Amino acid sequence: MKEGKTFSTQLFLFYFKSQDFPQYAFVAPKKSFKNAVKRNKFRRIGYNILRKLPINKGIGVFIYKKQALIAKNEEIEENIIYILEKTIFYHKI
């Protein structure tokens, strides 16, 4: 990811790079999400949102910010879609 670029929103810091096939990860830092149950919950939320989206290329890492603790699932989904639209890896059908 050293050659990649960064993009930031209210809930995420996103590192990305172009690639022919999709490969994404979610990171919930222990500094912000003290409990392992919460870290895993937010990672699962992100993966479930990505599963529903038609993405066919790109590589990226979504890093949750502390503000995500009080965010609802809809807000998280909006942020993910906004990031992917700005990085041209997602096109609305």
Percentage of residues of the chain with pLDDT beyond 90:
68
Q: What is the pLDDT of residue 87?
A: 83
Query: CA 67: distance to chain centroid?
Result: 14
Residue in this structure with the two tokens 């999709």, named with its chain if needed: 22
Domains in the chain: how many in total? 1
Q: Is the pTM of this model over 0.85?
A: yes
DSSP 70-93: G--HHHHHHHHHHHHHHTTSB---
Domain assignment present for 91: no
Average pLDDT over every residue of 10-16: 93
> What CATH number is associated with residue 66?
3.30.230.10
Q: Could you report the per-residue pLDDT of 23-59, keeping only the tens digit for each? A: 999 999 999 999 999 999 999 999 999 999 988 888 9
